[in-house]
Structure 1
């Protein structure tokens, strides 16, 4: 999707700037041409020489460069690219862009452009959550600029929380989605996949036999049609697909949090086999055998992610659930669709005799307001492609 595409990469001043070097390499290996703009603050973290060597291009940085500006360089830079990527997008850079400042080359390029812009924020958690930053983000979104991340995790300052810049492959996936030409280009779709693991103690957990193969195939098929896919996966047996924004989770609560953070979206496909229950009295240390008998495990219901999203104020235009059943498949799945409030249910028989759970094939029935549509047994990749095409058709005509 990025072959022969022109990427203007603005590198802001933050510790995450080191990731921009790998980001350049990832863009280049996909055939993109990368023109770097390095801010003065960015040059404190990565050198112009290293950026230029990886990009194979001159590094731009000075708004008042006599040679470049004699040719109106900032105007040419701002409009010659297919996509402008700002990574890291610091609080200062976003504030300038939101308020229309133009006191350096990077901010001037952002003000002078009519090209699509993708921002990958990176900053301290307190800067990210500050009301001023959040106001600027809302302004930029209203202006049509796109965001990828930030992620949550440990920071260089020693704190933990949202503010980590997305990984290079996540930024590449978001860029590919913005530049895609398929029928789902410009559509954001959340896909959940795999099992969840609910801890009993630090070494044991409750899980199920889901391999994650079907959810992974669906995400891959949606990417092939041009969608921006946020892929929220539990500990699956299969590797995640390329071209997605990847969110790895363990528990049902983790998955719900990741899904809610990914909204709003045009569609949400819940292919994950989420555990219905968790151990409410999970031990902090490994449980040992004792002479007093078996430990007493207490259970609590996990969140109902499908129902929560179906009823959320940011509900996607299309919400698709899955029903893995062993008995009365159609009846149970039809009741589930009504109970959850979703648009479709993809039902299948996962009783041991079918070999579907963890296997390479699937036989599904699509249940919607019009009834049940039985599909023949086929490979999971085929199911995914057919479902992706149906999703594409359903989203056509729906307002973005």
Structure 2
């Protein structure tokens, strides 16, 4: 949730942020009104409660003649305090609802608009010119024994799969390569749970506009995460953490689950858009004033990983309406798929400023020892199935084999080329 001081002091900025996201700016005014109403109700309750305490003391000191009138007043005050308490609680609930309707404040320079209104910041690597007809990753994956979609559907339904043979080895190699890079930059490796409580899912902003994407286990009131960002954000909930001269960083591995609601007919072949996949996610806690610099670092580490995989890509500044509720700015790295002749999203890096930490009550101590709300950031280092799809598509060769990038070869026992097995 955003800092209410922004609503009180910079209401026009909050309205403008909502407009840029394609949301109703009136939600900013409703939040201001709810904040005013909550403060008024709380003040009235505290005033009556103080009067009740004074009246109680007066009863104890009153003479026999004064006592009946004071007791009657105390009785009246008791009822008024009870009513004021109920009103304050309702005002608090109304404020929470209004607060949830206002998404994180976008940062200066974020383009307004929706999915197609991004800005291209840079293009890295040359688009390959193949001298043979490009196959898509689905055909290559089946021919090379990387995955088995048909049996995945038989066992689990559409958009599920088995990674088989070299496909399973590719997953382990990519995860180990990503974790090795993250550890070299001071990230603490974490294997994160894929099931979380509602507080963690709501606190990270995934139960708002993204609720239809989330799997929920009704019997246990637990959610399957769509990213280990959720568990990593919840890791320090209700804590005051030690943030020193540099951010506190974690590299989380987990299985991820997404319903892909609304994607009927999109990317139905292969493993680009699936209900379950594994992922290595970078997550940082830092001081708010350091968040933009940390965001740039996360992006550079993603670019480094894609460079090691020799994948041509572009970096986009995602438009406000496509950020999700928690991000104040998001950069996507989109890899070129020769078979599709277009760029496709492979990684994202998001600066969530203090939005998630305020919800989850994550703080640090400033130089004066005073608790302050931390900032949180996240960045995908390797979404495994999409990365496998990109490798197959980008590094395919005329004979149907796929070249293994040099940086990945040590994690595959020195394998240089993925070829179909002969019987």
Q: TM-score range by the shorter chain?
A: under 0.3
Greater percentage in helix: 2
Give the TM-score normalised by structure 1: 0.25
Q: Which has the larger radius of gyration?
A: 2
Give the TM-score normalised by structure 2: 0.24
